[in-house]
């Protein structure tokens, strides 16, 4: 399935709202890249540029007790969960006003009060943690749905297999979302698996699984919404393979020599913002309504960045606070 495989009809109002949210995510990531290249931000940073439709569609389904466990490519997921952009940028800049007081940086930030239980730099590690959160929900009365997000390469991690197996055995309300952007870091996923349609592994666990168009927020919302219904009704976990493409390197500084000729050109034609804009225009939306979300989003993110840059640096004497062993 490609990003051009979309339904003929579109809800213009919902589409414009999705376009605005995706532009917020795109502008945030581009600003973070700018800050990393210019120097205020340091450390390893992984960007979600091109994959914004997935967090946009999924975040709109979350209940107040649900929980999201993202990959280390999680800035857009945090924004979708409601984390203010100023606090995301401040965290990446090591500022005291960051969501973790500047201690976590890009790779480890978390915001439980926004249902975002964060990133970590262990590939696939969010899956077993999410299963634990879902299990806890059966005891604390929340009956939360736990959403865990990981890349195609993480599907080969033992911890992800064990998490899916345990969730299936206990029929836990977990939604496993594989953001398949075709590249396991710097290696094509098709070169390291025998069956490149990764959703088919769900059958081995006895759970629901499907591949969806991850570049269409409306399809993501509809199909993942079905997984939420299964989870909330006691039907157990679902594996969703959301097909997408990242328009940037695996990390900031990746020279992307592994890319196939013409790959990025095709990806830019199929990326979610471009496709949704074209669909809205075809549905009769005015050009100024389609252009508005970008300008509004960029103004918001520019203001957030300025506020974050003006904030004080984190106090190094507090580095050992909030540590538990």
Q: What is the pLDDT along the chain (325 residues), one digit of tens a residue?
A: 333 344 458 999 999 999 999 999 999 999 999 999 999 999 899 999 999 999 999 999 999 999 999 999 999 999 999 999 999 999 999 999 999 999 989 988 999 999 999 888 899 999 999 999 999 999 999 999 999 999 999 999 999 999 999 999 999 999 999 999 999 999 999 999 999 999 999 999 999 999 999 999 999 999 999 999 999 999 999 999 999 999 999 999 999 999 999 999 999 999 999 999 999 999 999 999 999 999 999 999 999 999 999 999 999 998 888 887 7
Q: Is residue 148 part of a domain?
A: yes
Look at the alpha carbons of 206, 207, 208, 211 in this order and tell me if their dihedral is positive or negative: negative
Confidence at residue 9, expressed as pLDDT on a 0 to 100 scale: 80
C-alpha closest to that of 70 among 106, 35, 18, 100: 106
Residue 315 in any domain: the answer is no
Domain membership flag for residue 33:
yes
Residue 187 covered by a domain = yes
pLDDT at 303: 98
Is residue 61 assigned to a domain?
A: yes
Q: Give 168-192 as a DSSP string.
A: HHHT--EEEEEEE-SEETTEEGGGT
- Strands 208-213 and 183-184, sheet pairing: unpaired
Residue 318 lies in a domain: no
d(CA 55, CA 70) in angstroms, rounded, equals 10
* Whether 40 contacts 93, CB under 8 Å: yes
213 sits in which H/E element: strand 208-213
CA distances from 43 to 109, 120, 212, 216 (A): 13, 14, 33, 31
Phi then psi for 146, rounded to 5 degrees?
Answer: -105, 130
109/154 Cα distance (integer angstroms): 20
d(CA 32, CA 148): 23
290 belongs to a structural domain: yes
Q: Is 35 helix (H, G, I), strand (E, B) or coil?
A: helix
**Is 5 part of a structural domain of the chain?**
no
For tokens 């062993």, the residue is 325
- Scanning the structure block, which residue is given the tokens 């396991």? 184
Phi, psi of 315 (to 5 degrees): -80, 115
Domain that holds residue 174: 12-254+267-308
CATH code for the domain in which residue 75 is found = 3.40.50.970
| pTM of structure | 0.94
Number of domain units in the chain: 1
């Amino acid at each position: 399935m490609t990003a051009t495989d979309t339904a003929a009809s579109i809800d213009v109002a919902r589409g414009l709202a999705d376009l605005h949210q995706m532009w917020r995510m795109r502008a945030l990531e581009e600003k973070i890249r700018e800050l990393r290249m210019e120097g205020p931000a340091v450390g390893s940073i992984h960007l979600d540029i091109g994959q914004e439709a997935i967090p946009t569609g999924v975040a709109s389904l979350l209940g107040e007790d649900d929980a999201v466990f993202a990959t280390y490519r999680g800035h857009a997921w945090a924004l979708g969960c409601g984390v203010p952009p100023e606090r995301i940028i401040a965290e990446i800049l090591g500022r005291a006003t960051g969501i973790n007081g500047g201690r976590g940086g890009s790779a480890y930030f978390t915001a439980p009060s926004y249902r975002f239980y964060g990133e970590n730099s262990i590939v696939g590690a969010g899956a077993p943690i999410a299963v634990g959160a879902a299990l806890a929900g059966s005891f604390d009365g929340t009956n939360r749905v736990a959403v865990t997000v990981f890349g195609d390469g993480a599907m080969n991690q033992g911890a992800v297999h064990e998490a899916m197996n345990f969730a299936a055995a206990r029929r836990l309300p977990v939604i496993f979302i594989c953001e398949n952007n075709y590249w396991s870091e710097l290696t094509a996923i098709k070169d390291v698996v025998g069956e490149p349609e990764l959703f088919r592994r769900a059958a081995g666990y006895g759970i629901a699984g499907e591949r969806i168009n991850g570049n269409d927020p409306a399809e993501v919302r509809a199909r993942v919404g079905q997984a939420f219904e299964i989870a909330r009704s006691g039907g157990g976990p679902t594996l969703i393979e959301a097909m997408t493409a990242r328009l940037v390197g695996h990390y900031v500084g990746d020279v992307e020599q592994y890319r196939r000729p013409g790959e990025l050109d095709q990806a830019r034609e199929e990326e979610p913002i471009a496709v949704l804009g074209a669909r809205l225009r075809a549905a009769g939306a005015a050009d100024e309504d389609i252009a508005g979300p970008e300008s509004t989003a960029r103004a918001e993110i520019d203001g957030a960045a300025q506020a974050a840059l003006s904030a004080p640096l984190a106090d190094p004497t507090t580095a050992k606070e909030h540590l538990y062993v």
